[in-house]
Amino acid sequence: MRTDEQAMALYKAYPRKVARGAALKAIKKALQTEPFEVLMDAVQEYSRAKEGQERQFIPHPSTWFNQERWDDDREDWWEGRRPEVPAEMAWEKVRAAISRFGRKNPVEARESLDDPVVSAVKAIGWQNLCSMTEFNRDKVFRQFKTRYDKEAINADRNRATLSGGNSERQA
């Protein structure tokens, strides 16, 4: 693939299509120092991370390439995203598991929950969850939400990266 074709492929993969001339110039400059595959991998993950985000908060492609943003910490790209399953829904699953399995069956309870929920439950402790009261429920929920959101976003990121990587390899 020629440099012009590589630049156009990168432009098409980028999540915002503006200032095409400036973008292609910046992309060609980036291709002089970075392999196409490295840039395409970064652009594809960045695009997945920004899905559903308002366009005004996504930099122009020329800015992204001129600032070598493909070298940014990729976890930052995912920051601010909301998990596919909101923490409130995951919390209801935890409360249902507490009702169903109680204090004495934490293993069975964990088996009924998704991985991000289990990670949050482990961080707080099953016994602590089972012994929460109306007086500390909000505090426990905030602890759960903080941990759950982080775990769920990482799981969503991993899932997007795996499914995105597979679909590009098959194409």
pLDDT digits (tens, 9 = 90+) for 4-53: 999 999 999 999 999 999 999 999 999 999 999 999 999 988 988 888 77
Longest alpha-carbon distance in the chain? 65
pLDDT digits (tens, 9 = 90+) for 129-164: 999 999 999 999 999 988 888 888 778 777 766 665
Of 76, 93, 108, 111, the closest CA to residue 148 belongs to 93
What does the alpha-carbon distance between residue 123 and residue 121 come to, in Å, rounded to a whole number? 5
**C-beta of residue 127 within 8 angstroms of C-beta of residue 166:** no
What does the alpha-carbon distance between residue 47 and residue 136 come to, in Å, rounded to a whole number? 40
Among left, alpha and beta (phi > 0; psi -120 to 50; other), residue 54 is beta
What does the alpha-carbon distance between residue 39 and residue 137 come to, in Å, rounded to a whole number? 46
What does the alpha-carbon distance between residue 133 and residue 143 come to, in Å, rounded to a whole number? 15
What does the alpha-carbon distance between residue 168 and residue 48 come to, in Å, rounded to a whole number? 13
**C-beta of residue 150 within 8 angstroms of C-beta of residue 122:** no
**Two structure tokens written together for 130:** 């089972």
pLDDT given at position 161: 63
pLDDT digits (tens, 9 = 90+) for 46-84: 988 888 778 888 999 999 999 999 988 887 887 767 777
The residues, any chain, with a CB within 8 Å of residue 99's CB and separated by 6 or more, are: none
**C-beta of residue 45 within 8 angstroms of C-beta of residue 77:** yes
